[in-house]
Amino acid sequence: MSADWAAAYEAVPRSRFLPALIWPHDMATGRYSTVSEEQDPEAWQLYADSDDPIVTQWDDGAHEGPEPGKSFSSSSSMPSLVFSMLADLDVKPGQRVLEIGTGTGWNAALLAYRLGAENVVTVEVDGAVASDARDSLDRFGMPVEVVHGDGLLGHVARAPYDRVIATCGLRKIPFAWVEQSKPGGVLLVPWGTYYWPGEATARLVVARHGRSASGPFTRPVAFMRLRSQRFLWPRHDEYVPPGALDAADTSTTTLSEAEICGTGSFDAVGFALGLRVPDVAHNPDRKRDGRRAVWFYGTRGSSDRSWAVVVFRDDRKEAKVYQSGPRRLWCEVESAYHWWVSHGEPDHSRFGLTVTAEETHAWLDDSANSWPL
């Protein structure tokens, strides 16, 4: 934690913004436990003071009962991540901040402690979450303006902003955030592609003319996606009907399972491939008896039913490839992989984004080496 946020951490405890029923996430096992402040106040406080992410809502509020739901939909992030992102945001006294994704309200309260509640606006799409956060902020004496609405629209009534921070994962950055920022303002956005689940925070600086924002990725992160940008996995049989494998083009590849699939939730190769083939989604099957199939689906509009599958086997040096449709997805992915290797296998820190009203460009090392997404 940077020294300039230490006082805020002490003065604004996360516990003051958590509900009585929480679901901490065990990073090692991937499991969620149910912890009630009423039934076990010591355990509740222990988790509130921990560096664990804590789910505070399941299934967009439709979930009831103490057991975890099907899909988490609101949370309190790891404090170490919160303060790392706040350090990247680099706020200064007197600046005005727009936050997208209020959650519990803790992040907004930390900003308000540094800048004053009158200089922080936060937007939350979920009405119940927004109401609870507003109540928590008011009780704590930080009457930040909490807007119940679509964060993609920003909040023009309080613009222009010196800083914009999103606490949800995005796949497209709305230009409204650039338009509502001052020249030289900073947008800090967790961003990724549908190819890979991992994200990285893009720190974009608004140009002097206000018609673009550009900057590098700063750190790997993992956030719940903005609700309107959640990915709906395509139905497999809509791409691969019965008998499709028999009619597909076939070939082989010497690329290995490890080279394509990586080794964790965030890998440099997966992030880079997503940047090079952003309109491809991929889904590795579970490995069984030394065999693993990795599927690829085209996402270039509703008419794109291109697909490919690579079947890796531990006892073979080459993998069998099947692909069909108007595109050859494996050829695209394989080409992207070789591009990544030829450029020194760059991680997120060598990539960046430039956002304009017309489109978004990804770039490597500098904006001169860029391509549209």
- Name the CA dihedral angle for 212, 188, 169, 280, rounded to a multiple of 10 degrees: 40
Residue 263 has pLDDT above 70, yes or no: no
Range of weakest confidence among 78-82, 101-105, 211-215, 235-239: 235-239
pTM of the model: 0.93
Q: Of 73, 74, 75, 77, which residue is the catalytic one?
A: 77
User: Is 77 marked active-site?
Assistant: yes
Tokens 């949370």 belong to which residue?
75
Q: Is the pLDDT of residue 235 over 90?
A: no
Tell me: the pLDDT tens digits for 297-335?
Answer: 999 888 889 999 999 999 999 999 999 999 999 999 999
**Mean of the pLDDT values across residues 55-71?**
91
pLDDT band of 251, cuts 50, 70, 90: very high
Q: According to the model, what pLDDT value does residue 266 have?
A: 63
| Residue 303: per-residue pLDDT | 85
pLDDT at res. 264: 58
Residues with Cβ within 8 Å of 176's Cβ and at least 6 positions away in sequence, in order, are: 152, 153, 154, 156
Indicate the pLDDT class of residue 40, thresholds 50, 70 and 90: very high
What pLDDT, on a 0 to 100 scale, did the predictor assign at position 98?
A: 98
The full DSSP string for 84-113 is: HHHHHH---TT--EEEE--TTSHHHHHHHH
Average pLDDT over residues 67-91: 94
Q: Which of 104, 141, 92, 121 is nearest to 17 (CA)?
A: 104
Q: Please tell me the predicted confidence (pLDDT) of residue 67.
A: 92
Instruction: Tell me the average pLDDT across 24-30.
Output: 87
Dump pLDDT digits (tens) for 165-192: 999 999 999 999 999 999 999 999 999 9
